[in-house]
């Protein structure tokens, strides 16, 4: 090989070495909660239009402490979270806003006795629920107050996590379990293996609508984003919204395949996810289109625990 040929060969090798960095897709990382609405994000990250131009990744945070730390240090710019979390962190000085809602109520009441059909039937029963003073507990207390039920007449036990509540519900003599999907669906399957019949007792989002004279849902979870990052990438977020909408449609038509994807991100068996989709009230709705409903919900939980919203009500600039 002559000198000119060698130099040409060397240039080609150099260009090949540089090619991966020249043509690498820009990273677009989303974070999901350890809950069923994250399956929408998972499907969108794999199948969406955004994945054609960006390296779209979904990671799952495992605790609210991890979530808050990641948002504070700038690592987490897009995340699914309970609806009150955006308001809470915004009120604590973080530049966050709510992009959309992904669920209109995942909490369900599970029973062993099918005769427990109303909230009034909870009186005198043993109930187990995770997260004392947090969202599931506040929903329970708000409904009892609205319906004139003395909550002291319900024997309530609290746990630190939903799986702990489900395990004790099956092992002990509890009558009612309140927990978010997909845990109720998983509890039914686990109960069958143990010879314990578990049933859906009260559709809590439906009861919420009846009690507060609203639509039958609870605006409980969605995506919150760093406002500066959102403003700098408006076209990407338009594409993301379309991808999430299409992902939800695909999930409804392909529950088995969606459960297979979801099981890669959530510690839940595929059959439980398949059964949970129809009872998780999944949606993809822009936050600004439901701001009145969300604010009404915030007013209710603020009455019981202002700390959940960061000590004060947010204004409507929270909603993108």
DSSP assignment letter at 319 = B
Q: What is the pLDDT of residue 6?
A: 40
Of 138, 143, 293, the residue nearest 214 (C-alpha): 293
Q: What is the pLDDT of residue 296?
A: 93
Q: What is the pLDDT of residue 123?
A: 97
Do the domains spanning 26-104+219-318 and 107-212 agree at the CATH topology level? yes
The DSSP result for 5-33, as a single string, is: HHHHHHHHHHHHHHHHHHHPPEEEEEEE-
Note the CATH architecture for domain 107-212.
3-Layer(aba) Sandwich (3.40)
26-104+219-318 CATH fold: D-Maltodextrin-Binding Protein; domain 2 (3.40.190)
List, run by run, the mean pLDDT of 10-residue segments along the chain (320 residues).
Answer: 46 45 78 94 97 95 87 94 91 95 95 95 97 88 95 96 94 96 95 97 94 91 96 96 98 98 93 95 96 93 90 94
Residues 6+ apart with CB under 8 A from 11: none
Q: What is the pLDDT of residue 64?
A: 79
Q: What is the pLDDT of residue 161?
A: 86
Q: What is the pLDDT of residue 23?
A: 57
Question: Using CA atoms, how far apart are residues 240 and 222, in angstroms rounded to an integer?
Answer: 13
Q: What is the pLDDT of residue 162?
A: 87
Three-state DSSP at 204 gives helix
Domain boundaries, the chain: 26-104+219-318, 107-212
Q: What is the pLDDT of residue 272?
A: 95
Q: What is the pLDDT of residue 304?
A: 86
Instruction: Calculate the CA dihedral of residues 106, 110, 116, 122 and round it to 10 degrees.
Output: -80
């Amino acid at each position: 090989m002559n000198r000119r040929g060698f130099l040409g060969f060397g240039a080609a090798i150099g260009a090949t070495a540089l090619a991966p960095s020249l043509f690498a897709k820009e990273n677009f990382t989303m974070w999901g909660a350890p809950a069923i609405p994250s399956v929408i994000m998972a499907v969108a990250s794999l199948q969406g239009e955004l994945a054609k131009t960006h390296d779209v990744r979904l990671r799952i945070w495992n605790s609210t402490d991890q979530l808050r730390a990641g948002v504070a240090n700038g690592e987490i710019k897009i995340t699914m979270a309970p609806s009150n979390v955006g308001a809470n962190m915004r009120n604590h000085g973080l530049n966050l806003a709510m992009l959309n809602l992904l669920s209109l109520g995942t909490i369900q009441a599970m029973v062993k006795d099918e005769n427990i059909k109303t909230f009034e039937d909870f009186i005198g029963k043993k109930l187990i629920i995770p997260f004392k003073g947090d969202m599931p507990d506040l929903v329970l207390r708000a409904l009892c107050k609205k319906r004139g039920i003395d909550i002291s007449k319900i024997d309530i036990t609290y746990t630190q996590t939903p799986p702990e509540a489900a395990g004790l519900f099956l092992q002990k003599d509890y009558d009612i379990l309140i927990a978010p999907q997909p845990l109720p669906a998983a509890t039914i399957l686990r109960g069958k293996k143990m010879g314990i019949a578990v049933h859906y007792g009260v559709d809590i989002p439906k009861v919420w609508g009846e009690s507060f004279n609203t639509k039958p849902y609870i605006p409980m979870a969605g995506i919150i984003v760093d406002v500066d990052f959102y403003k700098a990438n408006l076209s990407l977020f338009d594409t993301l919204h379309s991808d999430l909408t299409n992902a939800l449609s695909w999930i409804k038509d392909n529950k088995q395949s969606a459960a297979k994807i979801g099981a890669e991100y959530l510690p839940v068996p595929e059959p439980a996810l398949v059964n949970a989709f129809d009872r998780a009230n999944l949606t993809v709705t822009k936050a600004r289109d439901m701001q009145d409903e969300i604010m009404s919900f915030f007013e209710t939980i603020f009455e019981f625990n202002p700390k959940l919203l960061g000590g004060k009500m947010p204004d409507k600039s929270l909603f993108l």
